[in-house]
Amino acid sequence: MVVKFLFVLLTSINFYHPLVTDDTATVGKEVFQCELTSEYSWDKEENIILNQFSFVGVLSFGLADNVDVSISIPYTYIKESGLHDKEIYGISDSEIFIKYRVFGFDVVRIGFKPALMIPVGDDGKGLGLGVVGFKFLLLLDLFLLSNFSLYINSGYIRHQNMVNEDLWHFSIGCDYEISDKFLLVANTGADGHYKTGFNNMPVFFLGGLIYPLDEDFDLSWGLKLGITEVENDYSLLLGVTFRF
């Protein structure tokens, strides 16, 4: 179960909450943004039941209109029930990343996001991976209709962990404006190694809502379902985003 958590840890931080897929949107020059997200996950594997709660704070600052720098700090609580009951809790590995929107037109925007993964979590407890890692994502936004947008992420993760050293990531998400105040979102994606079969990849489907109270304050909810055994059976997500 802890191995499963370490695998998911590599790609589990959300930046367009509740989507796993990020977009190219930036906060704006000299603007701060704070994202506070929580996630409760449940999983059953043979005779072991996993209950996991994660809280992530992400602070972003706009270096330019098209460039952000951010840092994430996650806290995780895990309870395993089964043959040997176990509780694990504490700070997990952090990320420092830059999002750069290269260019954008009316219907398409392209950007990239390199990230440095900092091993601040206790790898002895299974809360971290113990070594510095690197991640690079290519971001693509497609504005197909006035109220419908598509987001695609593709990237590479380098981390000397107990699962695989080289991982790829691919995900696709969308949002649909159902009213002036609500966005309906959906998302699916996978992570894996070139030698990994489909059943050994964490593959998910996610649906949710975003409620923008105003231009500087958003609420978000989501339900994430695991398609393969490596992913948790289901997760409930809640987030608050505000800019200042």
* C-alpha–C-alpha distance, residues 111 and 141, integer Å: 9
- The pLDDT mean for the chain works out to 88
CATH number of the domain bearing residue 186: 2.40.160.40
* Cα–Cα nearest to 11, from 199, 241, 224: 224
Q: For 152-186, how does the pLDDT look when each residue is reduced to its tens digit (9 = 90+)?
A: 999 998 876 555 567 889 999 999 999 888 999 99
* C-alpha–C-alpha distance, residues 56 and 11, integer Å: 13
| Total structural domains within the chain | 1
Whether residue 14 is predicted with pLDDT greater than 70 in this model: the reply is no
* C-alpha–C-alpha distance, residues 115 and 96, integer Å: 6
* pLDDT category of residue 194 using cuts at 50, 70 and 90: low
pLDDT at 4: 52
pLDDT at 3: 47
Sign of CA dihedral 178, 39, 166, 193: negative
Structural domain containing residue 39: 2-243
pLDDT at 163: 53
Question: How wide is the angle at C-alpha 17 spanned by C-alphas 131 and 51, nearest 5°?
Answer: 65
Whether residue 198 is predicted with pLDDT greater than 70 in this model: the reply is no
Whether residue 202 is predicted with pLDDT greater than 60 in this model: the reply is yes
Q: For 90-148, how does the pLDDT look when each residue is reduced to its tens digit (9 = 90+)?
A: 999 999 999 999 988 889 999 999 999 998 988 888 788 788 889 999 999 999 998 99
pLDDT at 49: 87
Whether residue 22 is predicted with pLDDT greater than 90 in this model: the reply is yes
pLDDT at 160: 63
| Residue indicated by tokens 């997990």 | 92
Beta bridge mates, 111: 101, 139
Q: Which two tokens stand for residue 123?
A: 């790898």
Whether residue 70 is predicted with pLDDT greater than 90 in this model: the reply is yes
Q: For 38-69, how does the pLDDT look when each residue is reduced to its tens digit (9 = 90+)?
A: 999 999 887 888 899 999 999 999 999 999 99
C-beta of residue 22 within 8 angstroms of C-beta of residue 139? yes
Of all residues in the chain, what percent carry a pLDDT higher than 90? Answer: 60
Rg (C-alpha) for the chain, rounded Å, is 17
| Residue indicated by tokens 């930036």 | 26
DSSP the chain: -HHHHHHHHTT---SBTTBSS--S----TT-EEEEEEEEEEEEEETTEEEEEEEEEEEEEEEEETTEEEEEEEEEEEEEEESSS-EEEEEE--EEEEEEEEEEE-SSEEEEEEEEEEE--S-TTTTSS-SS-EEEEEEEEEEEEETTEEEEEEEEEEE---SS-SEEEEEEEEEEEE-SSS-EEEEEEEEEE-TT--GGGS-EEEEEEEEEEEETTEEEEEEEEEESSTTS-SEEEEEEEEEE-
* C-alpha–C-alpha distance, residues 244 and 241, integer Å: 10
pLDDT at 2: 45
pLDDT at 133: 86
- Kindly report the pTM of this predicted structure: 0.89
pLDDT at 179: 87
Q: Which two tokens stand for residue 67?
A: 């460039």
Whether residue 199 is predicted with pLDDT greater than 70 in this model: the reply is no
Q: Which two tokens stand for residue 159?
A: 């981390």
Mean pLDDT (whole number) for 219-232? 92
